[in-house]
Structure 1
Amino acid sequence: MTTMPFDALACPLDGCPLVPSEKTWRCENGHSFDVARQGYVHLLPVQKKRTLDPGDSKEMVAARQRFLSAGFYTKIAEAVSDLALKALAGERVGSVLDAGSGEGYYLRHLSAMASDTSLALIGVDISKWAVLAAAKQDKQTRWVVGSNANLPVMPESLDLVLCLFGFPVYSEFARVLKPGGQVIQVDAGADHLRELREIIYPELKPPGANEGLAPEGFRQRDSTVVRFPLALPDQNSIGDLLAMTPHLYRATSKGLEKAAALESLNVTVDVVLKRLEKG
């Protein structure tokens, strides 16, 4: 197995191919993007940012890194890697993009599992703190600050897109995937972290209707539920889990106080893995 950085990058300003030199990536129109000392490249132009520092904060990234490194979501990572390798079966070199890659946990796990498959990997996240953390841990993957709404890669250059607890932009996924390319998507199920949500919210909203229709341009190959009990042994692990989810900002102050008072908590992990194929 060989893991290498994915190289078919596109200029985020004009879509032209980017060509690497020593410490920059440059397109034919003269747009140039520096490679950071840690090895990542920033391809989110300031005019395409909605805020000065978009995405997860440095503190949120650190909390996610601690939580995932502790192995709490290993079963999810194993399921994603198994499905990804199934999707890439038969490819000489499987090109994979993680859209919303965070600090790189799932791509690192996939790389470690791919004993018989060569991979060209790229992780894209809108948070520079997440990409920085990923680049520090893994030099065999291309790490990019960028947006799912404007993925900085060339059309039809990828075999597989991962979108794990993220924000899918199916039109962009369809643009960058090869014909027959696939998407693996992970979303929270109805009971995901229910016990924590019951503590931090006055009442739980009923789950939204799942129409079960594949997005335009795709057909659904399969769907799998990963469900297991998870014991959070201390306040640190509870706090890290809360900090890496949107619930940190959605919960009431009273709910957050209740969570901060917990010494341990048993929660249900309930996620849905969907595999879509570009039509």
Structure 2
Amino acid sequence: MPITSFKALACPLDGSPLHCSGSACRCASGHSFDIASQGYINLLPVQHKRSRDPGDSREMVTARGRFLTAGSYQPIAAAVNQAVLADLPADATISCLDAGCGEGYYLRQLAAAAKDEQTLALLGLDISKWAVLSAAKQDRRITWVVGSNANLPVLPGTLDRVLCLFGFPVYPEFARVLKPGGRLVQVDAGPVHLRELREIIYPSLKPERTAEMPTPAGFRRLPAETLRFSIDLASAGQIADLLAMTPHLYRTKAEGRAAAAALTALSLGVDVRLTCFERGQIGKRPGPEHIFNTEHPGRATLGKR
């Protein structure tokens, strides 16, 4: 499938279109942003930063890259690909933003899953320069940007899809950049996600929250999926990588980190919620949700809202 550069970038300072040529991107007001030698663009002005080096550290990015490349979360990527490509013509040009792309695993999986007739204009954005640097080194066909979900450097109404996978959604910004009828694909941890690990690193667990998230303003909710499957980590290194790529690394105390470091193998359950929201009021009314058990392909349980 053809991968084309994403053309609808906006200046993070005044919102006007950015035009990229050579080694820089410029807007009509004269603001200029260098294209790094590795191929990414830093569109996070210093006045928009809350710290000197925001986002995931180089170590977290490296750990997540190793873990995801090993394939443990591939069922999540497959479900995301299906949600992104659903209801699109086979010969469509699809513009898609991964808002909080990390080192680019899910966009690379999407690029591999698209049909040959489809053209993808893919944009990966993350506030961590280390994440974007890693992503750009692995696939230069995709447009990679250092930026913030709070101020997306994207022109209004230009995206068919927005991904927010285990990230920090900013719904007004997502609504602004999506086309009418465009979709937000959101993945969040479910109530029993990685429970076996959490039981080891925390003295006690907080009560599980099961309430459905409210539908954001400007969107309508589509049928959702709950994905549950098991993974087996067979080394201390894999366990350390999983812990390092989650917020639990910084939430747990030294005793919990030590307990995790002592493990040499761990079986645990993945529980994630994939929710799609459509921009505007276009299309049919959503039906019942489907809960797919990926340990038994083809078996589904229907549940009313």
* Bigger mean CA deviation after superposition, 26-35 or 208-217: 208-217
C-alpha distance in structure 2 between counterparts of 1:243 and 1:249, whole Å: 9
Counterpart of 2:222 in structure 1 is 221
Give the conservation status (yes or no) of the 8 Å contact 1:88–1:160: no
SS at match of 2:224: strand
Counterpart of 1:33 in structure 2 is 33
Please state how far the C-alpha of 1:90 moved relative to its aligned partner.
Answer: 5.8
Please state how far the C-alpha of 1:63 moved relative to its aligned partner.
Answer: 0.1
SS at match of 1:222: coil
SS at match of 2:271: strand
Please state how far the C-alpha of 1:213 moved relative to its aligned partner.
Answer: 2.7
The superposition leaves residues 48-94 of structure 1 with CA deviations (integer Å, 9 ceiling, x where unpaired) of 00000000000000000000011111111111111111153467201
Pairing 1:8-47 to 2, within 5 Å after superposition: 8-47=8-47
Give the conservation status (yes or no) of the 8 Å contact 1:87–1:182: no
Pairing 1:60-71 to 2, within 5 Å after superposition: 60-71=60-71
90 and 216 in structure 1: CA distance in 2 versus 1, 3 angstrom threshold: farther
> Which residue type is aligned with residue 9 of structure 1?
L
Please state how far the C-alpha of 1:211 moved relative to its aligned partner.
Answer: 3.6
Please state how far the C-alpha of 1:3 moved relative to its aligned partner.
Answer: 1.2
Counterpart of 1:93 in structure 2 is 93
Say yes or no: does 1:169 pair with 2:170.
yes
Please state how far the C-alpha of 1:212 moved relative to its aligned partner.
Answer: 4.2
SS at match of 1:12: coil
Say yes or no: does 1:252 pair with 2:249.
no
> Which residue type is aligned with residue 73 of structure 1?
Y
Counterpart of 2:300 in structure 1 is none
TM-score (normalizing by structure 1): 0.98
Counterpart of 2:284 in structure 1 is none
Give the conservation status (yes or no) of the 8 Å contact 1:160–1:182: yes
Pairing 1:158-237 to 2, within 5 Å after superposition: 158-237=159-238
Q: How many residues align?
A: 279
Give the conservation status (yes or no) of the 8 Å contact 1:88–1:159: no
The superposition leaves residues 137-189 of structure 1 with CA deviations (integer Å, 9 ceiling, x where unpaired) of 00111000000000001000100000000000000000000111100000000
Pairing 1:27-176 to 2, within 5 Å after superposition: 27-89=27-89, 92-115=92-115, 116-176=117-177
Moved over 4 A (4+): none
CA RMSD of aligned residues (A): 1.0
- Percent identity, please: 61
Q: 5+ residue gaps in structure 1?
A: none
30 and 39 in structure 1: CA distance in 2 versus 1, 3 angstrom threshold: same
Q: 5+ residue gaps in structure 2?
A: 281-305
C-alpha distance in structure 1 between counterparts of 2:246 and 2:209, whole Å: 18
Give the conservation status (yes or no) of the 8 Å contact 2:191–2:210: no
